């Protein structure tokens, strides 16, 4: 699989590089406070990240004053497994290079399924902050080098990825809501699908392990 850089023109329809912020405290806190497990782990809000002065700057500038949560997704991963989207952009920043597997919401078929053949891979260099647009499908980061881990900041509107509202579905999209502000498209081979999530992907469950060796 070809791996683009977020500096390539191809990234422009999926997101953009975010500049103007001093990210050194964020990187230091990610490295010293958060773990890097063998699999992947996600925490919506980390108190030490939430308390940093840059959090207020991101809230006011990047999110226009809306409340935000400063969390992380860390570990080791090379597979797609799922894609998801939110109603808002997500901001990411890694202490090491990492790879994002991305698609576009408008590419979801009339059958409600997204073909993984449309997925593109993008390398995000360590210390570079990126915004992933609200209409961009994404999921857990991937390792950028064989055996390497990653620690990735995940900034989202407050409450995202917490307990979902309880309701009777009104349409197909409602069946994809697996947490607050989180619509999930699992691959049939994923643990999420095996745990009962409505399947949203068709095609190969992408594994980039041979592309980063």
Mind listing the pLDDT tens digit for each residue in 46-74? 999 999 999 999 999 999 999 999 999 99
* Ranges of each domain in the chain: 3-211
Q: Per-residue pLDDT for 77 more than 90?
A: yes
Handedness of CA 196, 201, 205, 211 (dihedral sign): negative
Query: What dihedral angle (degrees, nearest 10) is formed by the CA atoms of 38, 128, 70, 176?
Result: -70
How many Å apart are CA 81 and CA 83, to the nearest integer? 7
Tokens coding 43: 């925490």
Q: Per-residue pLDDT for 31 more than 90?
A: yes
Percent of the chain with pLDDT over 90: 100
As beta bridge partners, residue 186 has 82
Q: Per-residue pLDDT for 171 more than 90?
A: yes
**Tokens 């997925």, located at residue:** 119
Q: Per-residue pLDDT for 213 more than 90?
A: no
CATH of domain 3-211: 2.60.120.10
Query: What dihedral angle (degrees, nearest 10) is formed by the CA atoms of 94, 99, 104, 110?
Result: -130
Mind listing the pLDDT tens digit for each residue in 86-121? 999 999 999 999 999 999 999 999 999 999 999 999
Burial 172-194 (b: 16+ CB within 10 A, else e): eeeebbbbbbbbbbbbeebebbe
The DSSP code for 62 is I
How many Å apart are CA 68 and CA 195, to the nearest integer? 29
């Amino acid at each position: 699989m070809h791996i683009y850089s977020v500096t390539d023109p191809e990234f422009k329809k999926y997101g953009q590089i975010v500049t103007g912020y001093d990210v050194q405290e964020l990187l230091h806190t990610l490295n010293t406070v958060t773990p890097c497990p063998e699999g992947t782990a996600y925490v919506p809000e980390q108190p030490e990240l939430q308390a940093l002065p840059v959090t207020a700057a991101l809230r006011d500038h990047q999110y226009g004053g809306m409340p935000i949560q400063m969390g992380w997704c860390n570990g080791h991963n090379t597979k797609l497994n799922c894609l998801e989207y939110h109603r808002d952009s997500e901001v990411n920043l890694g202490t090491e290079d990492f790879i994002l597997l991305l698609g576009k919401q408008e590419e979801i078929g009339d059958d409600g399924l997204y073909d993984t053949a449309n997925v593109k891979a993008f390398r995000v260099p360590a210390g570079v902050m990126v915004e992933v647009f609200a209409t961009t499908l994404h999921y857990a980061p991937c390792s950028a080098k064989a055996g390497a881990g990653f620690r990735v900041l995940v900034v989202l509107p407050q409450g995202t990825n917490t307990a979902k509202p309880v309701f009777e579905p009104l349409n197909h999209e409602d069946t994809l809501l697996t947490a607050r502000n989180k619509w999930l498209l699992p691959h049939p081979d994923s643990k999420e699908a095996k745990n009962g999530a409505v399947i949203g992907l068709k095609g190969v469950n992408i594994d980039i392990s041979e592309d980063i060796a």
